[in-house]
Amino acid sequence: MKKIKYLFAAALAMFSMNAYSQGCMEGGSSGDLIGVTGFIQPQFNYYINGKDANGQSLNKNEFTFNRARLGVVGSIPYDIDYYFAVEYSGFSNSENKVHLLDGYVSYTRFAKWAKITVGQFKSPFSLEQNTACSGLYTVNRSEVVSQLAGPQRDLGLVISGGHDSLKFSYSVGLMNGSGMNNHDDNNNKNIVGRIVAGPFKGLKIGGSFKAGGINPTDPAEKLNNIYRFAAEAQFSWKSLLIQGEYIYGQDKLFSASRIPIYGGCGGIIGYETKQPGTYHKDGAWIIASYKTKFNIEPVLKFDTWNSDKDSRFSRVNTYTIGVNYYINDYTRLQINYANLKESREILNDMVMVQIQAKF
């Protein structure tokens, strides 16, 4: 009889440990509710680069791990939510390091009208930037979003509100402007905001703005000014979805300065030195998808990015043809072919195959 009791107790302990690891039970003594969430995205890339002068193929291919994320989300009575997530894929940043992606606390007493969030999170700018990586209809984000909405993640304070029943939502905040996991490099704060309205069923329109400053190369010089503006729209009807966005940016430089180049989920991958002057850049993207009853979703996307509107050779257009197959509610296969057209034509197309598993 004692042996049966011991076996029953051990089995119960093992079940409890497993339930906790899946985020399916209440947490510690404070009475908070916690859950574990995340996703992984192994990927295969084939780069079509043509041939060299000797006729040798320049094509390359690789297996990579686009993203591997683990997060904890929870609520503490009363009116406190928290969330933090870690990126385990070393391919997503130039240092190949595991790093904190998000980490914030929210006061939710008046969440329908004004939720207050403090910490590190996505900047409230751009439709595509604020689409979760696990919810993108193509493997990659648009280049204009990566560059003009960056830094994708930042530290600061945001007040947000709205609900579908109210037919609008908004977010406005003060951000460091120096990117994730970085100290603020000046006393200026970026003002960032986004508003979306749904005047009719299936239609949403909105806009975003950002204004702030970036350091000059010489710290004795005046702080440079940056401005970003975006307009967005999305239309859904049955299984059809059409989304699009236009983003404009202006950098007003008072002295020679290094301008960040973003990549890999908003991390800074380099800098471009610019001389004093006012620089204008813009871009847009539009995407259409249709999910069939067979869980197969064809996707067409066009995006364009112009890093300097005063230059004839700075525009890049990308045409993406893709198909998504939803194996189940938690697993998705994406296949994309991206055709790049530069002002100075070069061959550098890509085929990307990614499988995603969420939990």
- Rg of the chain, C-alpha, whole Å: 23
Q: Are residues 252 and 134 in the same domain?
A: yes
Residue 73 neighbours by CB under 8 Å, 6+ apart: 34, 35, 37, 81, 82, 83
Question: How far is 236 from 164, CA to CA, in rounded Å?
Answer: 15
Q: Are residues 12 and 150 in the same domain?
A: no
Q: Are residues 155 and 302 in the same domain?
A: yes
Is 173 part of any domain? Answer: yes
Q: How confident is the model at residue 265 (pLDDT cuts 50, 70, 90)?
A: low
- Determine the 3-state secondary structure of 14 from DSSP: helix
| Mean pLDDT estimate for the chain | 87
pLDDT digits (tens, 9 = 90+) for 107-131: 999 999 999 999 999 999 999 999 9
Q: Are residues 150 and 272 in the same domain?
A: yes
Listing DSSP states for 319-358 in one string gives EEEEEEEESSSSEEEEEEEEEEEESS----EEEEEEEEEE
Q: Which of 39, 21, 34 is nearest to 359 (CA)?
A: 39
HSE at residue 145, side-chain half, CA atoms within 13 A, is 27
Beta bridge partner(s), residue 134: none
Question: How far is 355 from 134, CA to CA, in rounded Å?
Answer: 11
The structure tokens listed for 9 are 């107790």
Is 91 part of any domain? Answer: no
- Determine the 3-state secondary structure of 94 from DSSP: coil
pLDDT digits (tens, 9 = 90+) for 139-152: 999 999 999 998 89
Angle at Cα 42 formed by Cα 37 and Cα 48, nearest 5°? 145
The 8-class DSSP code of residue 165 comes to G
pLDDT digits (tens, 9 = 90+) for 6-25: 433 333 333 333 333 333 33
Is 321 part of any domain? Answer: yes
Q: How many folded domains does the chain comprise? A: 2
Is 260 part of any domain? Answer: yes
Q: Are residues 126 and 16 in the same domain?
A: no
The pLDDT of residue 27 is: 38
Q: Are residues 7 and 136 in the same domain?
A: no
Is 256 part of any domain? Answer: yes
The pLDDT of residue 92 is: 65
Helix (H) or strand (E) holding 217: none
Question: How far is 334 from 354, CA to CA, in rounded Å?
Answer: 5
Burial (CB count within 10 angstroms: exposed 0-12, middle 13-18, buried 19+), residue 26: exposed
The 8-class DSSP code of residue 256 comes to -
Listing DSSP states for 129-156 in one string gives TTS-GGG-SSSS--HHHHHHS-SSEEEE
Q: Which of 188, 134, 125, 133 is nearest to 158 (CA)?
A: 125
Is 77 part of any domain? Answer: no
Q: How confident is the model at residue 224 (pLDDT cuts 50, 70, 90)?
A: very high
Domain containing 317 — which CATH number?
Answer: 2.40.160.10
Query: Which residues form the domain of 238?
Result: 39-63+122-358
Helix (H) or strand (E) holding 8: helix 2-21
Is 2 part of any domain? Answer: yes
Is 117 part of any domain? Answer: no
The pLDDT of residue 135 is: 93
Amino acid residing at 207? G
Cα-Cα-Cα-Cα dihedral sign, residues 293, 298, 299, 300: negative
Q: Are residues 148 and 14 in the same domain?
A: no
pLDDT digits (tens, 9 = 90+) for 293-326: 999 999 999 999 999 998 888 999 999 999 999 9
